[in-house]
Structure 1
């Protein structure tokens, strides 16, 4: 977990996470990470779908793999990334600031 959090650009040491969160992270890494890492979106099919696609990126996550992947995906889709408050989990940590921007981005 320490290697994962360091590679992902998280400042917090996994050993310092609360026990339940650490268990969830370990499950994610052991069971789900390979599927995510092996997945490559069909960018051409997505672009041809006619569906408006918004790629959200945390303003504070620059340098983290999730940020870099999102910016790359937006570029391949030919859309500008939509920047939201916080880092990779800004939707939770910065919910009050995140929600109105999400509504605006979705046109709701």
Structure 2
């Protein structure tokens, strides 16, 4: 598999198996987001609930945690010599996949 095809595929297969191409092809960011709709909807609902019933600072803290974990995942993947595209997609996908493990 070429380096530009190196992205996290497992979390997309968990939620939307038909989203992925059949073989190792370049995955666009739109496909990554479409495959991650369930975690995005769940966390948007939680952020909306926190913002409505509690202080508006609560969703900002939640978003800050996500940004921190994505930045950490990106950095760790870049240190393992992944491409920028692979690191960004992998970090984004891994955070969304890992965030629903508790549910």
Q: After TM superposition, is the score higher than 0.5?
A: no
Higher Rg of the two aligned structures: 1
User: Could you say which TM-score interval applies, normalised by the shorter chain?
Assistant: under 0.3
Higher relative contact order (CA 8 A, sep 6+): 2
Greater per-residue helix proportion: 2
TM-score by length of 1: 0.25
TM-score by length of 2: 0.25
